[in-house]
């Protein structure tokens, strides 16, 4: 799969409640019917952040397509234009509120106790509302060519800790999306991240216990040292193609 990850900061003209009223009430409904989309996840930062959290972020939106051509087709389809237009008139699409994006292919690493979804509960099974606690991070690699193999050798065993329920690492496809005749994603001034990391947990407490451990902090410091322009934080996430309505944010 190809994923499109949007790093979103809170626009200066909006409060968090105003943003979520629009985002959860309007924007997510447009995204769920985007052309050829196969996965859509929304994530908002929680109040208690781990020691390794850094950078400016409010929400991370994650959208997935089967391949590169399907994603490009979406952003040049009326449903894609509706998404971009809705974002532009409500929060703007400039680097001030969307400082970076990641267009990545993912490697899913083994974990000792994999996460489970339920078609009856319609979400993540550890919580009744189907939401997930996620640590999400991004960065620019100092050695982009060797990044994927180096990460697998160095960090592929993170999921052996039973608190980690999913472990995914994405590396950039290193391409630009052409929009119509003049537009591009990333746009001028936006970072196109080389990698993104995603770790899932059953709860905020589990996440903080793992992420604040000396072992993980040493590992993450190694990943930061091999990168520039990194950011990372803890989020509460919701799979939007499994739940019909976007839920108001809650931390725990």
Mean pLDDT across the chain: 95
- pLDDT mean over 131-149: 97
pLDDT(119) > 90: no
- For residue 16, what pLDDT band results from cuts at 50, 70 and 90? very high
The answer to whether residues 131 and 84 touch, using CB atoms and an 8 Å cutoff, is: no
pLDDT(95) > 80: no
- For residue 4, what pLDDT band results from cuts at 50, 70 and 90? very high
Q: State how far the Cα of 211 lies from the Cα of 128, in Å rounded to an integer.
A: 24
Nearest to 96 by CA among 191, 192, 235: 191
- pLDDT mean over 89-115: 92
CATH of domain 2-239: 3.30.70.100
First vs last C-alpha separation in the chain: 30
Nearest to 19 by CA among 59, 56, 77: 59
pLDDT(93) > 80: no
- For residue 188, what pLDDT band results from cuts at 50, 70 and 90? confident
Q: State how far the Cα of 43 lies from the Cα of 239, in Å rounded to an integer.
A: 9
Q: State how far the Cα of 154 lies from the Cα of 208, in Å rounded to an integer.
A: 22
18-49 pLDDT tens trace: 999 999 999 999 999 999 999 999 999 999 99
Residue 117 to residues 16, 73, 166: CA-CA distances in angstroms?
29, 29, 12
171-187 pLDDT tens trace: 999 999 999 888 899 98
Domain chopping of the chain, boundaries: 2-239
């Amino acid at each position: 799969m190809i994923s499109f990850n949007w790093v979103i900061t809170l626009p200066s003209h909006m409060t968090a409640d105003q943003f979520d009223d629009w985002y959860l009430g309007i924007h997510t409904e447009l995204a769920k019917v985007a052309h050829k989309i196969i996965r859509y996840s929304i994530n908002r930062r929680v109040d208690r952040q781990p020691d390794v959290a850094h950078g400016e972020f409010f929400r991370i939106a994650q959208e997935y397509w089967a391949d590169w051509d399907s994603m490009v087709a979406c952003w040049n389809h009326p449903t894609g234009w509706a998404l971009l237009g809705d974002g532009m008139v409500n929060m703007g699409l400039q680097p001030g509120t969307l400082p970076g994006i990641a267009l990545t292919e993912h490697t899913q690493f083994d974990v000792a106790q994999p996460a489970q979804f339920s078609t009856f509960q319609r979400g993540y099974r550890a919580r009744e509302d189907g939401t997930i606690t996620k640590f999400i991070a991004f960065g620019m690699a100092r050695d982009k060519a060797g990044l994927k193999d180096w990460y697998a050798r160095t960090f592929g065993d993170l999921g052996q800790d039973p608190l980690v329920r999913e472990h995914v690492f994405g590396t950039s496809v290193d391409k630009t999306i052409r929009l119509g005749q003049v537009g591009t994603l990333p746009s001028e001034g936006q970072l196109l991240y080389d990698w993104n990391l995603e770790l899932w947990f059953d709860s905020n407490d589990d996440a903080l216990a793992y992420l604040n451990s000396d072992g993980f902090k040493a590992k993450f410091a190694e990943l930061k040292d091999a990168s520039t322009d990194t950011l990372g934080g803890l989020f509460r996430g919701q799979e939007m193609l499994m739940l019909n309505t976007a839920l108001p944010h809650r931390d725990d």
